[in-house]
Amino acid sequence: MKKPLIFAFIFQILILISMLFFAYAPLKLGEMIKVQATGYDPRDLLLGNYSNLRYEHISSIFTKEYFKNKEQIYLSLQKQGSFYIGKTLSREKPNSGLFLKGRVDYSYQKDDGYKTHLIFGIEKYYSTAKNSKNLEKKLRKQKAIVTLGVLNGLVRIKSVEI
């Protein structure tokens, strides 16, 4: 029973390498886009300080159709001026164009449609306690410009500038 143990911890290392790959791939192989964001600074018990980012016309979008909480969705993007914003929300993967893969956080009825809040895994920007506080102060006054790497729906934060 001792030899199969080697495969068990090699499995752990493979998991870590694959996580690293999926984290790294959109930044190296994906297309770089810029979006605008606002935010505030909370703290995670395990991961430390971070700034919570809300992306304009991406983190929440108005839809005619109702999407259930936690449902997997795809948000097609379109360029407006220098920045990208969300265009349409669908359950099926778009055939072309830039899109983000995420989940519905929650949605509620508004006017004749629904305000749908979305999560893409780019809502937290981890930094040191000092930098997070500085970023929070700046975010109170102005919007951040966030550069994202997008690859086949997978998205990662490259940088946050103010």
Q: Which residues bind other proteins (CB under 8 A)?
A: 1-2, 4-6, 8-9, 11-13, 15-17, 19-20, 23-24, 27, 44, 46-50, 69-70, 103, 119-129, 131, 156-157
Residue with Cβ nearer other proteins (52 or 88): 52
The answer to whether 37 and 86 have CB atoms below 8 angstroms apart is no
Sign of CA dihedral 137, 142, 143, 144: negative
Least distance between other proteins and beta carbon 26 (Å) = 9
Alpha-carbon gap, residue 99 to 24, rounded angstroms: 18
Q: Any bridge partners for residue 23, and if so which?
A: none
Residue with Cβ nearer other proteins (23 or 162): 23
Least distance between other proteins and beta carbon 44 (Å) = 8
Residue 31 DSSP label: E
First to last CA, the chain: 56
Least distance between other proteins and beta carbon 160 (Å) = 9
Least distance between other proteins and beta carbon 126 (Å) = 5
Residue with Cβ nearer other proteins (78 or 128): 128
Residue with Cβ nearer other proteins (13 or 92): 13
With CA atoms as reference, report the closest residue to 73 among 55, 57, 56, 94.
94
